[in-house]
Amino acid sequence: MGMHMNEGGDDLQEAHDINVTPFIDVMLVLLIIFMVAAPLATVDVKVDLPASTAQPTKRPDQPIYLSIKKDHSLYLGNDRVEPDLLGSTLDQQTKGDKEETIFVRGDEDVDYGQLMEVMDLLRTAGYLKIGLVGLETVGKP
């Protein structure tokens, strides 16, 4: 009967590999989050925008869109808003930050007078930074 005495403790080999399973799990969770959140970040109000050849500016992370449809109805994001409630609704959405840029999306058939009325409503509410949104074209419109 032979007995071996193990005096050196455990002789397990060291693993020199990185366990990438947690990294893959995190990446898959982030992919799912972005796939769910991306459609929510767009505006679904259909407006025929006029075209422009101007150089586009950088878009902020969470832009605030004010849309003017053909029938002169106003939409803040996807929600319809009455003109007399525009200032208070914007204050709620911007948390009172009057330096926030409001992006105005006007339908191609909206006349200049209606656009000016909406811009006057924004100015009266204290929002002086206004961006006009249009379609990007290459060359002459």
pLDDT bucket at 11, cuts 50 / 70 / 90: low
pLDDT at residue 102 tops 80: yes
Computed over every residue of the chain, the mean pLDDT equals 80
Coil/strand/helix, residue 112: helix
Q: What are phi and psi of 12, to 5 degrees?
A: -80, 145
Domain map (residue ranges) of the chain: 64-133
CB contact set of 66 (below 8 Å; sequence gap of 6+):
74, 75, 76, 86, 102, 103, 104, 105, 118, 122
pLDDT at 19: 83
CATH number for the segment(s) 64-133: 3.30.420.270
Residue 56 corresponds to which tokens in the numbers above? 């586009």
Instruction: Indicate the pairing of strand 51-52 with strand 130-132.
Output: unpaired
- In the chain, the N- to C-terminal Cα span, in Å, equals 97
